[in-house]
Amino acid sequence: MSQPGTRLKLDELLDTAKIIVCCGSGGVGKTTTAAALAVRGAERGRRTVVLTIDPARRLAQSMGLTELDNTPRAVAGVDGELDAMMLDMKRTFDEIVLTHAEPDKAEQILKNPFYQALSSSFAGTQEYMAMEKLGQLRASGEWDLIVVDTPPTRSALDFLDAPDHLTTFLDGRLVRVLLAPAKASGKAYLKVVTAGLNVFTNAITKIIGASVLQDVSQFVGALETMFGGFRERAQATYDLLKDPGTAFLVVATPERDALREAAYFAERLAEERMPLAGLVVNRVHRTAGGQLTAQRALDAAEQADPLTAGVLRLHAERVELAQRERRLRERFTSAHPAVPVVDVAAQPGDVHDLNGLRAVAAELAG
Amino acid sequence: MSDFPAARLHVVSGKGGTGKTTVAAALALALAAGGRKVLLMEVEGRQGLAQLFDSPPLPYEERKVAVAPGGGDVYALAVDAEQALLDYLHMFYKLSPNGLPARTLRKIGAIDFATTIAPGIRDVLLTGKVKEVTTRAGSRGGRYYDAVVVDAAPTGRMPRFLNITHEVGNLAKVGPLKAQSDGVMAVFKSPQTVVHLVTLLEEMPVQETVEAIEELTALGLPVGGVVVNMVRAPFLSHEDVAAVAAGTAARRLSAGLKTAGVDPALAPVLLQEASEHAARVALEERGHDALAHLQRPTYELPLLPDAVDLGGLYQLAAALKAQGMA
């Protein structure tokens, strides 16, 4: 079948990249793609680690990931060096606090209810901690290749935006205002802020209650000592993503919404000057019997026995599906002609063993 | 007669990729049929409803998007946490959204803080709006909307989204935030609410559905029906699927193709396609069994040949109505 656009040279990428980030909207097979790339990378001789966020249970088991312990573990059965880990965002956050804050401050932060909520349920924490973990894995120097699966967000862009949100907050004016309202008074140019602050304090107190505000202030006060650390680390990880050794792969399925999300992501990466290596299209339907058109198959089915008619109608459906998928994909390629594309055929069931992952990777490599 | 006669708030969730937005819209149309007024809400800022109804991005206002068969109206609303907060400040504290205090709050990042950073607050704001539209009084007694359908977070995040008291309870033990979340929770746990789950007959979506129902039950949230989306037409009988899977259909197919005037040389290719279909049917049956164990009302929606448009939505709405979901 013809391949519009350039074809992704996967093995070249696996042999040279230092970091491969798999992005895409939810439900497109990101985790499977990341795991397949990691297995192939390791079996091509690179010391590889794959960081997964929320793998399906059986896929995790196939890689020996039975517990979420935030530490890379060797994957048995791979002909090479492959480690795999599942992200524990709360523990990763705790570790940052313990590394950067003085012991008594650290304890204060870890006990703070606001911190506990932030570290376990803030929508952006998972993205931020995935970035943080990536930075740590890279800094350790233990691996040649790090493959990252991104969190199951509604939008692929969240992965890039969330850390910025968090650091903007931690470094922001609100925090400074919360910390030192007294310092602000007396300076004419800050009068508006002070006036706003009173309203703010009143409104927030009314809305969320004084005790919450107190917890927030205490949390922010305790974090103050680690601001530099946070900001520098977030910046360093962001820079890492711009490094030529980093490659982004956008994962999609041949469906309108998933491809639209992939297109947004491609545009955003271009804006950020981040290196997009290619688009992986999972669950693509093909047919080897394209010479029998859908219409012809349906016509023939009219005068056939039930078995033959059923088989012919199945074929017609498949031909139409393949054509529709190809049109959708071509729309992406014509808008982004420079992005290499690779297809992975739809499988009847999910992939959940190493051989399944090898087969996916072999298809990706072409 | 609907299977959920007492329900006024229908929360629709499902694994990413199962088509929950489409199902929520079809359910809203089905509920509106016969002259009722239904609000379809989106809470994740994705503008999926606008795409579905082929309209420009929805503003933060309730806007009529479709007329149901028999004259009912479907309104749509895309809730945005920032707007919900400004709304809230305006309603309860008389702060004008464009006044100095609100502008200052925005400037120093307080709005951003409350809507994106502070855990729980965002969800309280969004679910607070769900409660407000559900319980809003109509001008002539009764409720303003006969039903509200929420296109909710995917299954992974949904229980947390609905179990708002718990999330907030860790932060606020007393005060207005606590009172607000308790009020929302009371609505969610009442008989007027049902949470429906959308799935496909595939391994992971079925698994997530089973887990979500366990989780909702444990939280005391009312589970509604299971919608199996994108069901393919059965092209082959059970016996023929079994024959294809067992590899005993080749001769019959070759003969059948010859009779139908198709080149029998294509038989191996067609048989290969049919055996992939048979493998999928086997997985689908396993999914069916797992869903049957749940003993929840289950509805099936056909796979539409093209991307779902308004015509397709009417077709799906009719199917839901015929099966008793609305």
The tens digit of pLDDT for each residue in B44-62 reads 767 888 888 888 888 888 9
Whichever domain contains A77, its CATH number is 3.40.50.300
DSSP, collapsed to helix, strand or coil, labels residue A24 as coil
Region B254-258: mean pLDDT is 95
Per-residue b or e along A43-64, where b marks 16 or more CB atoms closer than 10 Å to that residue's CB: bbebebbbbbbbbbeebbebbb
Determine the pLDDT at residue B236. 94
Determine the pLDDT at residue A181. 44
Determine the pLDDT at residue A189. 40
Statement: residue B14 has pLDDT above 50: yes
Region B3-11: mean pLDDT is 96
Half-sphere exposure of A231 (CA within 13 A, CB side): 11
- Bridge partner list, A248: A21, A276
Region B194-204: mean pLDDT is 93
Sequence-ordered alpha helix ranges (H) in B79-175: 81-93, 100-107, 110-112, 121-135, 158-162, 164-169
Half-sphere exposure of A158 (CA within 13 A, CB side): 22
Statement: residue B30 has pLDDT above 90: yes
Sequence-ordered alpha helix ranges (H) in chain A: 10-16, 30-43, 57-62, 89-100, 103-111, 113-121, 125-140, 158-170, 173-179, 181-184, 191-208, 210-223, 227-242, 256-271, 294-302, 306-335, 354-365
- Cβ contact B261–A113 (<8 Å): no
Range of the domain at A68: 10-365
Q: Does residue A91 fall inside a structural domain?
A: yes
Judging contacts by C-beta atoms under 8 Å, the chain B residues touching residue A309 are 256, 260
Region B248-264: mean pLDDT is 95
B265: exposed, middle or buried (Cβ count in 10 Å: 0-12, 13-18, 19+): exposed
Higher-confidence residue of B199 and A87: namely B199
Token pair belonging to B194: 């049902």
Determine the pLDDT at residue B117. 58
Statement: residue B132 has pLDDT above 70: yes
Nearest neighbour of B117 by CB, restricted to A155, A169, A209? A169
Say how many domains are in chain A.
1
C-alpha span between A38 and A84 (Å, rounded)? 9
| Predicted ipTM beyond 0.85 | no
Q: B225: closest CA among B204, B197, B202?
A: B197
C-alpha span between B129 and B133 (Å, rounded)? 6
Determine the pLDDT at residue A194. 52
pLDDT tier, B171 (very low <50, low <70, confident <90, very high otherwise): low
Statement: residue B116 has pLDDT above 70: no
Distances (CA, A) of A263 to A22, A214, A328, A343, B22: 14, 44, 12, 16, 22
Higher-confidence residue of A100 and B35: namely B35
pTM exceeding 0.90: no
Residue B196 near residue B226 (C-beta atoms within 8 A): yes
Higher-confidence residue of B21 and A132: namely B21
Determine the pLDDT at residue A2. 40
Region B232-261: mean pLDDT is 94
- Cβ contact A301–B260 (<8 Å): yes
Q: Which H/E stretch holds residue A344? A: strand A341-345
Cβ of residue B243 closer than 8 Å to a chain A Cβ: yes
C-alpha span between B272 and A287 (Å, rounded)? 10
Residue B97 neighbours by CB under 8 Å, 6+ apart? B86, B87, B89, B90
For residue A152, the distance in angstroms to the closest alpha carbon of chain B comes to: 9
For residue A294, the distance in angstroms to the closest alpha carbon of chain B comes to: 12
For residue B216, the distance in angstroms to the closest alpha carbon of chain A comes to: 18
Determine the pLDDT at residue B319. 97
Parts of chain A with a pLDDT under 50? 1-3, 181-193
List the domain boundaries for chain B: 9-232+303-322, 235-294
Token pair belonging to B195: 């949470």
C-alpha span between B316 and B229 (Å, rounded)? 10
Token pair belonging to A73: 């573990």
B94: exposed, middle or buried (Cβ count in 10 Å: 0-12, 13-18, 19+): exposed
Region B277-306: mean pLDDT is 92
Span A207-244, pLDDT tens digits: 556 666 677 777 766 666 666 666 677 777 778 888 88
Nearest neighbour of B177 by CB, restricted to A25, A207, A291? A207
For residue A144, the distance in angstroms to the closest alpha carbon of chain B comes to: 32
What is the interface size between A and B, counted as CB pairs within 8 Å? 228
Find out if CATH 3.30.1360.170 is the number for domain B9-232+303-322.
no
Q: Does residue A175 fall inside a structural domain?
A: yes
Determine the pLDDT at residue A153. 61
Q: Does residue A1 fall inside a structural domain?
A: no
